[in-house]
Amino acid sequence: MKKILAFLILLSLGSCTVQKIKKSVRDSEVFGKGHIGFMLVDPEKKKTLFALNEEKYFIPASNTKLFTFYTSYKLLGEERVNGLNYIQKEDSLIFWGTGDPTLLHPDFRDSTVVDFLKNAPQTLYMVNTFDQVTAFGSGWSWDWYNYYYATERSSLPIYGNVVRFSKKPDDKVGFSPDYFQSQSFEDIPSERYSILREEDQNIFHYGINKQLEKELGFESDKPYITSAQLTADMLCLKVGKNITLIPNQNYQHRIHQKLSTAKADSVYSQMMKISDNFLAEQLLLLVSDHLFDSLNISSAIAYAKENLLKDLPDEPIWVDGSGLSAKNMFTPRTIIALLEKIKEEIPMEKIQAYFPAGGDSGTIRNWYKADPGQTPYIYAKTGSLSMSNALSGYLITKSGKTLLFSFLLNNYAIPSGELKKEMEKVLYQIHKKY
Going by C-alpha positions, the residue among 46, 70, 61 that lies closest to residue 350 is: 70
**What sections of 346-409 are H helices per DSSP?**
348-354
Q: What is the pLDDT of residues 160-198, one digit of tens each?
A: 999 999 999 999 999 999 999 999 999 999 999 999 999
Judged by average pLDDT, the poorest of 8-12, 183-187, 389-393, 402-406 is: 8-12
Q: CA-to-CA distance for 84 and 105, rounded, in angstroms?
A: 15
- 5 pLDDT higher than 70: no
Percentage of the chain with pLDDT > 70? 96
For 55, other C-beta atoms within 10 Å of its C-beta total 13
Q: Position 253: which residue type?
A: H
| Average pLDDT for 229-234 | 98
* Average pLDDT value for residue range 400-408: 98
- For residue 22, the model assigns a pLDDT of 84
323-373 confidence digits (pLDDT tens): 999 999 999 999 999 999 999 999 999 999 999 999 999 999 999 999 999
Say if CB 273 and CB 354 are below 8 A apart.
yes
Residue 376: cis peptide before it, omega within 30 degrees of 0: no
